[in-house]
Amino acid sequence: MSTETFAEARRQIEICNACRYCEGYCSVFPAINRQRAFSDGDITHLANLCHNCRGCYYACQYTEPHEFDLNVPKILAEVRQDSWQDHTVPAGLARAFQRSGVAIAAATVAGLALLIWAIKAIGSSGGDGFYAVLSHNAMVAIFAPAFLLPLLLIAIGVRRYWRTIGGGPVRLTDLASAFASAAAMRDLTGGHGDGCNFEDEDRFSNARRWHHQAVMYGFLLCFASTCVATVMHYAFGIPAPYGLMSLPKLFGVSGGILLSLGTIGLAVLKLRSDRHLSDARVWGGEMGFIVLLFLVSTSGLALYAFGGSPWLPELLALHLGAVLAFFLLTPFSKMVHGFYRLAALTKDARIRADAGETVPPPTPLTGQPLKSWLRG
């Protein structure tokens, strides 16, 4: 990460620390107000606490054309993006994939090609449903390494990040607090419960929070579906395919629907939002990854709906190719932000607990756009 980026972030954060108007907005500003000086690790930690809701920008008196020219969401987005890239192994791949939707598309095509080859070359040794196209053992041989290796790379990156921010010992109470904050997406409420201004400075909305929750819980339900199916297969000897009222199908279908709806919502909000308030360098990569997540969920739903049709081999290749690309790209894509943000929330919870602080209740709005009120 460049020294210029840290210097600019430090300049803006120090001005915010003097003003303190946005203290109740999210976790970032109370964390700023606890300190007087900020190391590079402190700034990296603050950047990963930020959810880019942009409420602070629209409330601020010191944005352009003021001479201070503050744009806290943008500079923290740049620091945050660089922190993921710098701590990921190998960093070069992170820079390539996070800044290029084309690379994501290429990985998807490569995943499709591999699956189509496997279907034709390996085929099935007998079975029902998907296994009539590609054997269970072949699927395990392809996807187990594609899942476990990215997890290892993520663990290495998060460990390096934790050292950079001086995370210290991890306590279960701090982890529980971080998970609770992430589950509720508290920092997307704007600090007042009415949401943030992500797509419109004069309109507070919880839409981004809801779409993020749909993606998060949809993904977790799909993961739960896979885990339950694995237990049923190996522990109880009940192989796929499963009926609609089985746990794998209930989790998978509901998760796929949530994930599809959430990714559509996030894509629409991203297209409406002001790119000036984010890291414009990676806009294409982020949008490409949202499209990939949409492809994973919708192809899975299509596979379930039309699994008995002659299109089964093509649908299976499309879905598994998208899933394979998703797994392989996770350490280098926007998906990794969840692990870093959870680590940042864990450290913040520890600091608050040690200081005897509690999470403040939402502050009601007056109904008038904050920036308009500030500027008269």
Strand partners, 205: 196
| Residue 311 per-residue DSSP state | T
Report the C-alpha gap between 360 and 20 in whole angstroms.
15
pLDDT of residue 110: 76
pLDDT per residue over 308-364, tens digit each?
A: 788 887 788 888 888 888 888 888 888 898 999 999 999 999 999 988 877 655 544
pLDDT in the model for residue 298: 94
Angstrom CA distances, 3 to 15, 39, 71, 95, 279, stand at 19, 12, 18, 18, 17
Alpha carbons within 13 angstroms on the beta-carbon side of residue 295 total 24
Average pLDDT, the chain: 85
Q: Is the dihedral of CA 12, 14, 17, 20 positive or negative?
A: negative
Gap between the Cα atoms of 136 and 154, Å rounded:
27
**What pLDDT shows up at residue 138?**
77
Bigger pLDDT: 41 vs 202 = 41
Residue 217 predicted with pLDDT over 80: yes
* Closest by CA position to 372, among listed 73, 18, 60, 56: 60
Cβ contact 324:115 at 8 Å: yes
| Higher pLDDT among residues 229 and 137, named by residue | 229
The pLDDT value given to residue 324: 85
Decide if pLDDT at 152 tops 90: yes
| Structure confidence at residue 9 (pLDDT) | 96
Number of separate helices (H) and strands (E) present in the chain: 15, 0
What percentage of the chain carries pLDDT values higher than 90?
41
Give the 3-state secondary structure of residue 205. Answer: strand
**Is residue 222 helix, strand or coil?**
helix
3-state secondary structure (DSSP) of residue 107: helix
d(CA 371, CA 61): 7
Instruction: Please state, in angstroms and rounded to a whole number, the distance separating the CA atoms of residues 295 and 288.
Output: 10
Q: Which two tokens stand for residue 163?
A: 């050292």
Distance between CA atoms of 44 and 164, rounded to whole angstroms? Answer: 8
Residue 21, amino acid = Y
The pLDDT of residue 263: 96
- Per-residue confidence at 376, pLDDT binned at 50, 70, 90? very low
pTM of the model: 0.86
CA–CA gap between residue 102 and residue 17 (Å, rounded):
40
Tell me what pLDDT residue 1 has: 62
pLDDT attached to residue 234: 87
Radius of gyration of the chain (CA): 22
Angle at 170 between CA 48 and CA 359, to 5 degrees: 60
Residue 103 has pLDDT above 80, yes or no: no
Q: Residue 219 has what pLDDT?
A: 95
Q: Among 366, 371, 372, 1, which residue's Cα sits nearest to residue 192? A: 366
